[in-house]
Amino acid sequence: MSESEEINLNFFDPAVAADPQKTWRALATQCPVGEPVPGMSAISSYEDVMFALRNPQIFSSQMPKGMIGNDRPLIPLQLDPPRQTKYRKFLDPLFSRKKMLQMEPDMRTLAGDLIDRFASKGECEFNKDFAIPYPCTVFLRLMGLPQEDLDHFLEIKNGIIRPSGDTEEEITKSRDTAAKNLYAYFEKFLDEKIKNPADDIMSYLVQAEIDGKKVPKDELLDISYLMLIAGLDTVTATLGCSVSNLAQNPERRQLLIDRPELMDNAIEELMRWETPVVQIVRVLTQDYVLGGYELKKGNMVTLVLGAANVDDKLCPHATTVDFERDNNRHIAFGGGAHRCLGSHLARLELKVALEELHKRIPVYALKPGETPIYSPAIREVQYLPLVFGS
């Protein structure tokens, strides 16, 4: 790439964090496979990202341990088929669409109660008042984890995903400390669940068998570690980004008020456009040439899901947000063998949240003089001040 075509990949730049689609689009069109910045191999076009996701024998998910503080590979995320497949068969029924729909009445009650707390005030900070407590409460209930420990879980989760520190050493130390705290928590909690099982996922995990044998405790820890991080982060991020988008684009918000039957389409389109999990990493199991670019065995390559989601090879007019778009094949949930385990839960949580919000507060906008604050690298709205209209 020439200097004039250089892409700003500094996701820590507030301007990029707030409006990443321009950067993603530039990657997909100018550098579909290559090295957009020195030392970083990336795959950004839709077709090439899908090829990588569907070929784990070449693009392995087995990462070096410790990338996010973990002692061992996270199950099933950092395993490849066929070993990964048996864990997905074991876990998929826990998050089936039918099972998730059974939770809908409780979700609606919870969402309505939370919104009612701030609706009459005329304003809210959406992240703190709703985007965090709503999906996190749903998740803890599903898992059978104590609601009173939510703040502790959030501190640990943020320490792993968004560790603090000014140097690499400080960041690593922060992440490792959070990871040790999470392992210690689940070490004790799993023992308690073995003694006192209930009707929840954690109880299922400690009692279930794979190949006729109880799941070893280390593996239960690795499953729990992954579930907590994903369950307390991705829906919060997606919900906050979606409402921020609607608050800043009143014609889209009004369309959902006028035509509520478009809600399912709108959720898919907002997930495509916002793509909270911007990128994932794979390791090459062999030398491989993709798109004319030579990838070397043992090297890591970044799959930029955000870029693939704004590639016209995915859908026509990919840089336009269209709530009437049909057959939306976005990969905000990933793809291939590692497609998101909790996709049915996430979709239902988003639908219930937006329906209940619009039922109670049909008109909302950014608070005058305020600006949303997006987290760098991993996309999330950390500050979203809203005001309500009549």
d(CA 150, CA 262): 33
Q: What is the pLDDT of residue 40?
A: 86
- C-alpha to C-alpha distances, 226 to 31, 151, 205, nearest whole angstrom: 31, 18, 14
Q: What is the pLDDT of residue 4?
A: 37
Q: What is the pLDDT of residue 373?
A: 93
For the record, the structure tokens of 327 come out as 């057959």
Q: Given pLDDT bands bounded at 50, 70 and 90, which one contains residue 265?
A: very high
In one-letter notation, the amino acid at residue 111 is A
**In the predicted structure, residue 2 carries a pLDDT above the cut 60:** no
For the record, the structure tokens of 189 come out as 């909690």
Reduce the secondary structure of 112-125 to three states and give it as a string: HHHHHHHHCCCEEE
d(CA 131, CA 245): 14
For the record, the structure tokens of 172 come out as 């690593």
- Note the pLDDT tens digit of each residue in 221-241: 999 999 999 999 999 999 999
- Note the pLDDT tens digit of each residue in 146-190: 999 999 999 999 999 888 888 989 999 999 999 999 999 999 999
**In the predicted structure, residue 1 carries a pLDDT above the cut 70:** no
Q: Given pLDDT bands bounded at 50, 70 and 90, which one contains residue 67?
A: confident
Sequence-separated (6 or more) residues with CB below 8 Å from residue 372:
18, 244, 366, 381, 383, 384, 385
Q: Are 381 and 240 in contact (CB under 8 A)?
A: yes
Q: Are 12 and 271 in contact (CB under 8 A)?
A: no
**In the predicted structure, residue 128 carries a pLDDT above the cut 70:** yes
Domain ranges of the chain: 3-62+71-388
Q: What is the pLDDT of residue 60?
A: 97
Q: What is the pLDDT of residue 39?
A: 83
Q: What is the pLDDT of residue 6?
A: 64
The owner of tokens 């100018």 is 30
Class of domain 3-62+71-388: mainly alpha
In one-letter notation, the amino acid at residue 224 is S
Mean pLDDT along residues 259-264: 97
d(CA 54, CA 170): 36
d(CA 319, CA 196): 52
For residue 94, count other CB atoms closer than 10 A to its CB: 19
